[in-house]
Chain A
Amino acid sequence: MINALKTALSGKSAHIAAMVVAVAGVGLSGCDDVGGDPARQIGAHPALPALQQYLLPPIWIAEPTAWGDDTPKAAKGLQVHALATGFQHPRSLYVLPNGDVLVVESNGPKAPIFRPKDLITGWVQWFAGAKAKDANRITLVRNNGAGVPELRTVFLDHLNSPFGVALVGHDLYVANTDSIMRYHYEDGQTKITDPGTKLTDLPGGPIDHHWTKSLVASPDGTKFYVGIGSNSNVGENGIAAEYERAAIWEVDRATGAHRIYASGVRNPTGLRFEPETGKLWAIANERDEIGPDLVPDYLTSVQDGGFYGWPYSYYGQHLDPRIQPQRPDLVAKTIVPDYALSSHVAPLGLAMSMGTALPEAYRHGAFVGEHGSWDRTPLNGYKVVFVPFSGGKPIGPAEDVVTGFLDVHDHARGRPVGLAVDQSGALLIADDVGNTVWRVSADRSTTALK
């Protein structure tokens, strides 16, 4: 405790807020809240411990620090370079047909203060560098093929917490936190001049707890699938605030009309079509504050009309007592997600490996960008993993592809968010703490041997 106080007083640690909270309640918190091996929670059948409720919820986000000359560490056979740096909180990436990379620089709208806890949460996020000013823009980076940018322009500005981007023909769609906008785009264009037309409104404020709206167009281009996160951790803002949220919307491209394609998905932050089967897959961030190993975040195929549990239950019929009144009718039909990624890893980026020029081991599967935990000891996530697929389904444990976002002191030099596969087949990673886009390609020294 004394060491903890010293650390807090020296101002050297992002644990400060957590420590202050801990000091305020000395002796009230249990010390056995350490998470187990995340490997036990990866795959189709995660081990789910008993639910625990905290007196003092753990808050531990890795303190941000600089990369310096260092880079993330890639798995064997891969190499990492910075494609471009100096962004303002880059959250997601989109590759245009000509190879230009769109970097969505965005941050959430100001969170309302409903409870004293919200003040403390805001303070902690500020320490963790998550309160960067919202740039609300998309920057275009043109790659000369060798991974070195030759052009960089502000592509589209004055957006409203944008996240998802999708191009259909010559229409570029941007999912702001409160609407989908359409802009005319010509091949090779480096700046959008079209003022834009609104396709549809999306659930935005006034709370907008999970603000990122992921977006993917159906392979035939007639429909969009939009990930709409919940407005709370577990319904504590009232169930009325969750109207049409915690869901994946299907939006008609011609009319903007929508229907709920799937629901009970707390925060579907990435949506992609699996190339082999053409099925829609999603990554989702599950609920907090019931233990370091609850609830595992997941990767799942999305069934039309499916209900995935939130907020009433998780992983099937595991009831969450924090929501009242309960809905046994919904709990009964809750679908168990396909693939657990382990708890609190915060998956925020999904890319199918279609078209990669990475080594054979990475040709069939899904890359997942794990932003990293903020309420778990030890930290979990803070890396990019690869889930191998066969026949359109995951077939093995997730492998670390890019790590090293945390330094030896558990300080975060970066945190991976959105992913994309560029025209050359390299994997791109948006890093919203290092404010960099990383490019992962096959290591030339090893591919040359092939």
Chain B
Amino acid sequence: MFKILSATGSYSTENTNADSQHIWVRLRIDIMQELTITGTSRNEASSLPATKAGQRPLHEMLTPFPFAYFTAALLTDIAYWRSDEVMWERFAVWLITGGLVMSALLAIVAIIDLIGGKQKPAGLRVLTYVVAVLVALFNVLIHSRDGYTAVVPTGMTLSAVVFVIMLAAISGGWALSHRRLGAKQ
């Protein structure tokens, strides 16, 4: 766990020109990680050497995409529910599809990360993320029904469930793996 914290720390220091918004976002991530990481002292973490570029897991770049797609799908579902306007329903099913496509890419890249040997899966978070994607797969089928019942009530409920599960999965950061202890820095 502390390796990720150190990675995030190094990320901060490498981008000294970042605007205040970026710093704010990063700060928020740091706080979230702080909340999830227990039994690791701040000192111990920050005493580790700064991570060099290329040592962060690649899949971390892709983890936000499904979350963003599925969140947008929830919003468009709500828009459809309130308006009966089919445009929102179509947005929703494409967004869920997009989220699933990105999830597939994410899975491929995550496997590449593991093959690299420096990463190991962060068990509970990977499991939570996978459950969210499976529910989304179920949801795209519900959303492929014709008309109102593609969204209300089942589709919209599932979109909300996906959102909550995925929020839990990524609340500790975008990486779904941690560095193997003893892996070369």
Taking Cβ atoms with an 8 Å cutoff, the residues of A that contact B are 24-25, 28, 53-57, 114-117, 232-238, 288-289, 311, 320-325
> How many interface residues does chain B have, given as a range?
20 to 34
CA distance A54 to B148 in the complex (A): 14
The listed residue (A115, A232, A237) touching B93 by CB distance below 8 A is A115
B146 contacts A116, CB within 8 Å?
Answer: no
A116 contacts B141, CB within 8 Å?
Answer: no
**Contacts A25-B137, A56-B141; A289 near B146 (Cβ below 8 A):** yes
Q: Which residues of B contact A322 (CB under 8 A)?
A: 145-150
B146 contacts A55, CB within 8 Å?
Answer: no
Q: How far is the CB of B58 from chain A (nearest CB, A)?
A: 26
Instruction: Select from chain B the residue with minimum beta-carbon distance to A238.
Output: B86
B145 contacts A53, CB within 8 Å?
Answer: yes
Q: How far is the CB of A405 from chain B (nearest CB, A)?
A: 28
CB contacts under 8 Å to A, within B133-165, are: 137-138, 140-142, 144-150, 152
A233 contacts B85, CB within 8 Å?
Answer: no
Is B94 interfacial (CB 8 A cutoff)? yes
Q: Which residues of A contact B85 (CB under 8 A)?
A: 238
Q: Which residues of B contact A238 (CB under 8 A)?
A: 85-87
**Contacts A55-B138, A237-B86, A238-B85; A116 near B152 (Cβ below 8 A):** no
Q: Which residues of B contact A235 (CB under 8 A)?
A: 146-147
B86 contacts A324, CB within 8 Å?
Answer: no
Binary interface encoding of chain B residues 73-103 relative to chain A, with 1 for a CB under 8 A from any of its CBs, else 0: 0000000000011110110011001000000
**30 A–B contact pairs at CB < 8 A?**
A25-B137, A28-B138, A28-B141, A56-B141, A57-B145, A114-B90, A115-B90, A115-B94, A115-B144, A116-B93, A116-B94, A116-B97, A117-B93, A233-B147, A234-B146, A234-B147, A235-B146, A236-B89, A236-B146, A236-B150, A238-B86, A311-B147, A322-B146, A322-B147, A322-B149, A323-B147, A323-B148, A324-B84, A324-B148, A324-B152
A325 contacts B84, CB within 8 Å?
Answer: yes
- Ranked 4 nearest A-B pairs via Cβ: A322-B147, A324-B148, A236-B146, A238-B86
Give the interface centre of B87, B93, B147, B148 by most chain A CB atoms within 10 Å. Answer: B147
CA distance A24 to B138 in the complex (A): 10
Q: Which residues of B contact A234 (CB under 8 A)?
A: 146-147
Q: How far is the CB of B78 from chain A (nearest CB, A)?
A: 15
Q: Which residues of A contact B90 (CB under 8 A)?
A: 114-115
Instruction: Select from chain B the residue with minimum beta-carbon distance to A114.
Output: B90
Instruction: Select from chain B the residue with minimum beta-carbon distance to A324.
Output: B148
Q: Which residues of B contact A320 (CB under 8 A)?
A: 147
CA distance A324 to B84 in the complex (A): 7
CA distance A24 to B89 in the complex (A): 22
CA distance A73 to B89 in the complex (A): 46
Known: A233-B146, A289-B146; 11 extra A-B contacts, CB below 8 A, are A25-B138, A53-B145, A55-B141, A115-B94, A232-B146, A236-B86, A289-B145, A311-B147, A321-B148, A322-B145, A323-B147
Q: Which residues of A contact B140 (CB under 8 A)?
A: 116
CA distance A234 to B142 in the complex (A): 16
Q: Which residues of B contact A53 (CB under 8 A)?
A: 145, 149
